[in-house]
Amino acid sequence: MSVYVRSLETAVPPTVLIQHQARDVFAEQPGLTRLGSRLVRTCFDSAAIDTRHTAVSELTLDAHPDNPRFFDHGAGLVLNPSTKSRNELFATEATKLFIEAAKAAVGNCPGLDLADITHVITVSCTGFFNPGPDYKVVRALGLSPAVQRYHLGFMGCYAAFPALRAARQFCEADASAVVLVICAELCSLHLRTSNDPDTIMGSAIFGDGAAAAVVSAREPAPGQTALTLDHFETVLTPVGEEAMAWNIGDQGFEMVLGSYVPHIIEEHITGALEPLLARVPGLGDRPYSDIPLWAIHPGGRAILDKVESKLELREEQMIPARETLRKYGNMSSSTVLFVLKHIMDMAPTTEAERICSMAFGPGLTVETALFTKLSPVS
């Protein structure tokens, strides 16, 4: 039985961070050493990012709140609010994104009634509250109170894959199941100024966004682009546990993103792909570039560069990931769904096209998946 992504939609907060403006603000913070200031400029300029979105409206140069908590425009200071203060904003603003993305996905799924939805899976690693986003979505959309709800929290950038995998399993167990999967991340809540290279890198690449998918065993409607969820695999690399982590501190969550992460991915990416490609006879024996479409989580420019080089992919195969990074930055778990959305929106072909997708996160964990893009049938 095939299981499909019947619709996939995204949402971002309205406030836009211009990369070069954010660079100048972070590079001029008091307490930075001369080396720290140079590192800020280098990280921001080399990130291959033009814009990011943030739920923290006061982070822009146009905002002038009376009692700033995150950015004092008059003094040009990036402030350092408590974890409690950051999380209170998460509860308010993440809820908006969860609901906006969910409504868009449901509204753009032909033939779907709200009463059809049987499961809701929400995903986030950038905040906590309870009743949580799964509850908020059910109430806001007017779903049945009997809908089964699940929340995947604090897994990191790869968490969309466990959510989609669980959705597929629900549909395989019950052909009438319709699963709404929503990832929403407010990474910008945890931006801070520091001389620490990991913190600087986080400030340079992370943004906010949400994505939602409707997953069902029902066949797509005529003229509808859809994805089949074919195979998933999880691999833990033998090294890298200390190189990527996400910890809770007194002044927000603290990112550990070691500079060696791209090298670890480069060294172990082919091994991580082996069990996935082995699911399709003969696929693992062919050049990676023979797979027409690639949806790679853009954890950063260096990661994309290493994946492209190691797998000998063509430049055009990297466009969905690189364009997502350029426009939105790294939005943690939501990001790979933005990449898949880019692919779904590309011009259809006359044949179904295979997609190889991957995301990386703490552990170091590599989640991989094979999808098939189905062209519309009129």
pLDDT at 255: 82
Q: What is the dihedral of CA 45, 300, 344, 10, to 10 degrees?
A: -80
CB 117 within 8 A of CB 178: yes
Distances 203 to 94, 189, 198, 267, 277 between C-alpha atoms, Å: 19, 10, 9, 26, 35
First to last CA, the chain: 23
Amino acid identity of residue 297, one-letter, is H
Torsion sign across C-alpha atoms 249, 251, 257, 259: negative
Distances (CA, A) of 137 to 125, 184, 292: 17, 12, 35
| Helix (H) and strand (E) counts in the chain | 10, 15
Q: Percentage of residues in the chain with pLDDT exceeding 90?
A: 85
C-beta of residue 245 within 8 angstroms of C-beta of residue 256: yes
CA 124 distance to own-chain centroid:
9
C-alpha 235, offset from chain centre:
19
Q: What is the mean pLDDT of the chain?
A: 94
Which residue is catalytic, options 157, 183, 187, 356? 157
Alpha carbon distance 297, 206 (integer Å): 13
Which residues in 173-205 are b (16+ Cβ under 10 Å) and which e? eeeebbbbbbbbbbbbbbbbbbbebbbbbbbbb
Q: How much is the pLDDT for 117?
A: 98
- Tokens representing residue 358 in the block: 């991957």
The residue whose two tokens read 């009129």 is 378
Looking at residue 243, what is its pLDDT? Answer: 75
Residues written for the chain: 378
Instruction: Check: CB of residue 212 under 8 Å from CB of residue 3.
Output: no
Q: Is 198 left (phi over 0), alpha (psi -120 to 50) or beta?
A: alpha
- CB of 110 within 8 A of CB of 225? no
Q: Decide yes or no: CATH 3.40.50.720 for domain 226-374.
A: no
Is 125 catalytic? The answer is: no
Phi, psi of 19 (to 5 degrees): -60, -45
Q: Which pLDDT does position 75 carry in this prediction?
A: 86
Tracing tokens 């690399």 back to the chain, one arrives at 237
Report the C-alpha gap between 92 and 275 in whole angstroms: 41
Tell me the pLDDT tens digit for each residue of 95-115: 999 999 999 999 999 999 999
b (16+ CB within 10 A) / e for 325-351: bbbbbbbbbbbbbbbbbbbbeeebeee
Q: Quick one: CA torsion of 220, 227, 184, 155, rounded to 10 degrees?
A: 130
User: How far apart (Å, rounded) are the C-alpha atoms in residues 213 and 218?
Assistant: 14
How many C-beta atoms lie closer than 10 Å to residue 126's C-beta?
A: 27
The rounded distance, in Å, linking the Cα atoms of 197 and 188 is 17
Query: In which residue are the tokens 């998946």 written?
Result: 369
Could you tell me the pTM of the whole model? 0.97
Give the rounded distance of the alpha carbon of 169 from its chain centre: 21
Q: What is the pLDDT of residue 281?
A: 95
Secondary structure, 3-state, 33-85 = CHHHHHHHHHHHHCCCCCEEEECCHHHCCCCCCCCCCCEECCCCEECCCCHHH
What is the three-class DSSP state of 125? coil
Q: What pLDDT was estimated at residue 377? A: 55
pLDDT tens across the length of the chain (378 residues): 899 999 999 999 999 999 999 999 999 999 999 999 999 999 999 999 999 999 999 988 776 777 889 999 888 899 999 999 999 999 999 999 999 999 999 999 999 999 999 999 999 999 999 999 999 999 999 999 999 999 999 999 999 999 999 999 999 999 999 999 999 999 999 999 999 998 999 999 999 999 999 999 999 988 889 999 999 999 999 987 877 888 899 999 988 776 778 889 999 999 999 999 999 999 999 999 999 999 999 999 999 999 999 999 999 999 999 999 999 999 999 999 999 999 999 988 878 899 999 999 998 999 999 999 997 754
